[in-house]
Amino acid sequence: MELAEAIRRRRMIRSFAAQPIDRAVVDRLLEAALRAPSAGNTRGVAWLVLEGEETETYWALSTDESWRSGRGRYQHLARAPVVALSLCSPAEYIERYGEPDKAGSGLGRGESDDPESAWPVPYWWGDAGMSTMLLLLGATAEGLSAAFLGVFRGETELLAALGVPEGWRMFGAVLLGHPDGADRPSRSLRRRPGPGAGAVHRSRW
């Protein structure tokens, strides 16, 4: 599939079939996702993949019973055979931007008591977002469905349970699978954007 077509067809799908995905396809998608731009070539982004029954850990620790029972879509989401966690390491970026060729940025370790706060726009979130977008587009190109879920609860407990080293943060989760044909359009699609949003401005706003 051409890139333009993948961009046009990409959608968040929230209803999956239980059909598994070939491991080689998942590996190919993640390899491509890790080719995203990386500030300072830091490469402080990683993916942690849960497949099959392993995905139960994600749902158990990132949601609670109230959310699961109050969301009609939970059962449809939980059938996704793959949950890929997008992770990033702020410490690696802070370390990188303290190296001689980046020291002039003032963003390295030792610049303040709270080095993360020195970053107006933290590159680790940007890099994780770009890698995530490549995974979403790649899934579309492979004929799969995908959904991105943000982090609202249980991040610390989940990462600890999965053995993620201390200091790594979770940008979000990408559910991957085959559509079951029962997806309903999100109500968010009815929302009108604010003035100037979703537009291209040239020379001046």
pLDDT digits (tens, 9 = 90+) for 147-188: 999 999 999 999 999 999 999 999 999 999 999 887 777 676
Domains and CATH numbers, the chain: 3-183 (3.40.109.10)
Average pLDDT over the chain, rounded to whole?
92
C-beta separation of 205 from 196 below 8 A: yes
* Tens digits of residue pLDDT in 15-25: 999 999 999 99
Q: Is the pLDDT of residue 201 over 90?
A: no
Task: Please give the pLDDT value at position 146.
Answer: 96
The C-alpha R_g of the chain, in whole angstroms, comes to: 19
Q: Which of 6-15, 34-43, 116-125 has the weakest average pLDDT?
A: 6-15
H/E element holding 125? helix 123-141
Task: Please give the pLDDT value at position 62.
Answer: 96
Task: Please give the pLDDT value at position 197.
Answer: 77
The backbone torsions φ and ψ at residue 3, rounded to the nearest 5 degrees and listed phi first, read -55, -45
Task: Please give the pLDDT value at position 198.
Answer: 77
Per the structure block, which two tokens stand in for 115?
Answer: 């080095």
Task: Please give the pLDDT value at position 188.
Answer: 66
Predicted model pTM: 0.91
| Biggest CA-to-CA distance, the chain | 54
* Tens digits of residue pLDDT in 34-67: 999 999 999 999 999 999 999 999 999 999 998 8
- Of these ranges, 2-16, 44-58, 97-111, the one predicted with the greatest mean pLDDT is 44-58
Mean pLDDT of 92-116: 90
The backbone torsions φ and ψ at residue 57, rounded to the nearest 5 degrees and listed phi first, read -60, -40
Task: Please give the pLDDT value at position 69.
Answer: 87
Please give the residue that has the higher pLDDT: either 151 or 196.
151
Mean pLDDT of 124-129: 98
* Tens digits of residue pLDDT in 88-97: 999 999 999 9
